Amino acid sequence: MIWQLDLLILSLIVLCALATISVKDLFSAAIIFGAYSFLMCLLWTEMGAVDVAFTEASVGAGVSTVLFVAAVFRTTRKVKDRGVKRYWTKGVGLLAATSVGGVLIAAVGDFPGFADPLSPASTHLSPYFITNTLTDTAVPNIVTSVLADYRGYDTMFETAVIFAAGLAVIAILRRSKTGVQHESREKVILSEGYEDTIIRLVARKMVPFMQLFALYVLAHGHHSPGGGFQGGVILGASFILIAISYDMKMLLGRMSEKWNVLLGNIGVLVYAGIGFVCLLLGANFLDYSILHRILPATDEIMARSHGMLGIETGVAIAVSAIVVSLYVNIASQGKHDKGL
């Protein structure tokens, strides 16, 4: 860790944060927010949190930015300045921010120094995970083993959160089917104006590699940074790329709305189902070690490893499908006619 670099990135982050909330153009704000996320990603790599950085790169900088851009594109770029009338709200905001800030500052004095190897956080639970991950689960990536096994229950609900979000967006935005058909018949090719052969060609060539890489990230998550989330988001991003470079009809032709939601559903179901199978086999919920009874040629430790791969696959399916669904609905305001 190089603290000068650290400090530099942190100050850039603060600058970006200030810029993104103060620019008057929402599109710029979205882009600056993307930059902010990338800087975050750098910061975390620099602090050794590679998995977090990977996720932030794909989810925060990637999907979030796309969603922001899509939303801004669908609404308006302009922010009206009404500074004069809103003293009261600004006062409340300042008061809340300073009071929360003050309370937080009061706590910092008691914290152990930054990156102190003797801090409670580094000495209480984490040594167990670090020293036992191989003996318990045979997974060298400690983050993966903690994520998918020691705290697999968290992760299951995290997947459920994503699924719920996808469903929520559909519930809020999606319009009735008849309306959709009606409108899409009128406007057949909506992204005509954006047609660009080079982009389309490059995008088309990139998609298979992206998907391959996504599968690699997923499969190799046990040994290197990555896993279900990152893989799933990249997989989803490849579909979004199609939608952006071509149009939404092409995407929906390959992956209909119904399949989209069903896949998201199946992904979570794979996760919860594996947990439930453990329960049916007589162990506790999500206790993969029992799976050695039904998996050929595995002992209890490898069963955990395989179980994790199984649920990571579920996560990847769910996340990729839901990311696409989020994009499709937000970019088209729920009408499924055109994208960006």
Q: Is 60 left (phi over 0), alpha (psi -120 to 50) or beta?
A: alpha
Contact call for residue 297 and another protein (CB under 8 A): no
- Residue-wise DSSP of 73-86: HHS-SB----TTTT
Secondary structure class of 5 (helix, strand, coil): helix
Secondary structure class of 21 (helix, strand, coil): helix
CA 285 – CA 187 distance, rounded (Å): 50
CA 274 – CA 280 distance, rounded (Å): 10
Contact call for residue 94 and another protein (CB under 8 A): yes
Please say whether the beta carbons of 340 and 73 come within 8 A: yes
Q: Which stretch binds another protein (CB under 8 A): 56-64, 201-209, 235-243, 247-255?
A: 56-64
How many beta carbons lie within 10 A of that of residue 24, not counting itself? 11
Q: How far is the CB of 223 from another protein (least distance, A)?
A: 7
Contact call for residue 181 and another protein (CB under 8 A): no
Angle ∠(19,22,28) on CA atoms, nearest 5 = 65
* Amino acid identity, position 161: V
State which residue, 8 or 206, has the beta carbon closest to another protein.
8
Contact call for residue 64 and another protein (CB under 8 A): yes
State which residue, 203 or 308, has the beta carbon closest to another protein.
308
Contact call for residue 5 and another protein (CB under 8 A): no
- Among positions 70-89, residues that touch another protein (CB under 8 A) are 71-72, 74-76, 79-80, 82, 85-86, 89
Q: Is 243 exposed, middle or buried (0-12, 13-18, 19+ CB in 10 A)?
A: buried
Choose, by CB under 8 A, the member of 130, 188, 212, 294 that binds another protein: 130
Contact call for residue 165 and another protein (CB under 8 A): yes
Q: Which stretch binds another protein (CB under 8 A): 118-126, 189-197, 210-218, 238-246?
A: 118-126
Beta-bridged to residue 25, according to DSSP, are 78
State which residue, 10 or 210, has the beta carbon closest to another protein.
10
State which residue, 309 or 319, has the beta carbon closest to another protein.
319
Choose, by CB under 8 A, the member of 38, 42, 146, 251 that binds another protein: 146
Contact call for residue 25 and another protein (CB under 8 A): no
Choose, by CB under 8 A, the member of 2, 84, 117, 296 that binds another protein: 117
State which residue, 215 or 269, has the beta carbon closest to another protein.
269
Least Cα distance to 196 among 249, 247, 254 occurs for 247
Binding footprint of another protein, residue count (CB under 8 A): 151
Q: Residue 28 has which token pair?
A: 């710029």
Q: How far is the CB of 255 from another protein (least distance, A)?
A: 15
Contact call for residue 293 and another protein (CB under 8 A): no
- Among positions 218-277, residues that touch another protein (CB under 8 A) are 223-225, 229, 258, 261-262, 265-266, 268-269, 272-273, 275-276
Please say whether the beta carbons of 300 and 217 come within 8 A: no
